[in-house]
Amino acid sequence: MARLSPNLAGIHCFACETAHDPQQLLTVCRACGLPLRVDYNLSSVNLSLRDLQSREPSLWRYRELLPLLPGDEVSLVEGLTPLLQVEANVWVKDESRNPTGSFKARGMALAVSMAKHLGAQALAAPSAGNAAGALAAYGARAGLPVTVAMPVDTPKAFFDECELYGATIHRVQGTIADAGKFLREHGPKDAFDVSTLKEPYRIEGKKTMAFELVEQFDGEIPDVVIYPTGGGTGLVGMWKAFDEMERLGWIPRGRRPRFVSVQSAGCAPVAKAFLEGKDRTEPWPNPHTHAYGLRVPSPIGGFICVRVLRESNGAAVMVTDEDADAATRQLASRTGIDVCPEGGAAWSALQTLRASRVIRDADRVVVFNTGTGLKYR
């Protein structure tokens, strides 16, 4: 039997609530094929924000709200990234400071830790770029072989990174969806799939971004969180974290930020579904954008992303590549932050929402820069 956290209550489907055995390597719901959610016995968790002050500067400081016991983690010291104020009432959460240069390190730290702990012998995933680099690094750290597939037009730096960490790499024509299809048909049969929302633990790593926001705001809550959305794990994870923080008493009930999902005008299934009043996303035809992390035409968790936006009274914005590029340069030149195209898209969305008065000057806003821009140049 695997050693799991005593606070782990179980694993259930986000859609149909079917229960699953946490002692098993899990992918998606066996009943409906949709993503799984990790649940905790929060009534047994005795942890306050004050308790965190003396803990290690990584996401593992939230140990009681993660599925592993101490000593079982595969870590490169990820998380606790800077929250930088860039103007009045606006902060940038700079995820480029993570290992492998992006927020993907958070999810892969948990996914790889749990996969190894539960018996996986090899790992695989399709990627738009950053997830592949993170998986390759954490697989190397865990001593597990890694196979990744990426669209052939992904910038060279992402392939070089995976090669450096010893991963097997496949270049695939098309999008991340085509890369996933390639791995299902031609990838190693013994490799455990850690694709976005096709296993339950990447969410658990990504949710720590919300814990950090509340901790870095000294227990206060931002009014708006602007988040670049591809597969949506971070959006889903942070909303889950705010629910957990409410139940722990870290934040007042009903006091959560409005979430803004930012997508490319060339690939915006979540934004389109939200703006059209639909509950589920539809595959985006002919997706194109050079903000590669946003080029996810068929997110399996799209329905959860739409739910988050509705429940938070949030918004969705589609940004052109031209506007994202201009905003990337503007934010970087004004602040010295290493901004990626996805972060530039989020900065552009802030300007759009200010102009339409959806965001007011008095609103405290966090804009996520999800990774380093160096890999794109």
pLDDT of residue 57: 96
Give the 3-state DSSP-derived string for the chain, with helices as H, strands as E and coil as C.
CCCECCCEEEEEECCCCCEECCCCCCCCCCCCCCCEEEEECHHHCCCCCHHHHHCCCCHHHHHHHCCECCCCCCCCCCCCCCEEEEECCEEEEEHHHCHHHECHHHHHHHHHHHHHHCCCCCEEEECCCHHHHHHHHHHHHHCCCEEEEEECCCCHHHHHHHHHCCCEEEEECCCHHHHHHHHHHHCCCCCEECCCCCCCCHHHHHCHHHHHHHHHCCCCCCCEEEEECCCCHHHHHHHHHHHHHHHHCCCCCCCCCEEEEEEECCECHHHHHHHCCCCCCCCCCCCCCCCHHHCCCCCCCHHHHHHHHHHCCCEEEEECHHHHHHHHHHHHHHHCCCCCHHHHHHHHHHHHHHHCCCCCCCCCEEEEECECCHHHC
- The pLDDT, as a whole number, for residue 1 is 61
pLDDT, residue 377, reads 82
The one-digit pLDDT tens for each residue of the chain (377 residues) are 668 999 999 999 999 999 999 999 999 999 999 999 999 999 999 999 999 999 999 999 999 999 999 889 999 999 999 999 999 999 999 999 999 999 999 999 999 999 999 999 999 999 989 999 999 999 999 999 999 999 999 999 999 999 999 999 999 999 999 999 999 999 999 999 999 999 999 999 999 999 999 999 999 999 999 999 999 999 999 999 999 999 999 999 989 999 999 999 999 999 999 999 999 999 999 999 999 999 999 999 999 999 999 999 999 999 999 999 999 999 999 999 999 999 999 999 999 999 999 999 999 999 999 999 999 98
User: Taking the model in full, what pTM does it have?
Assistant: 0.96
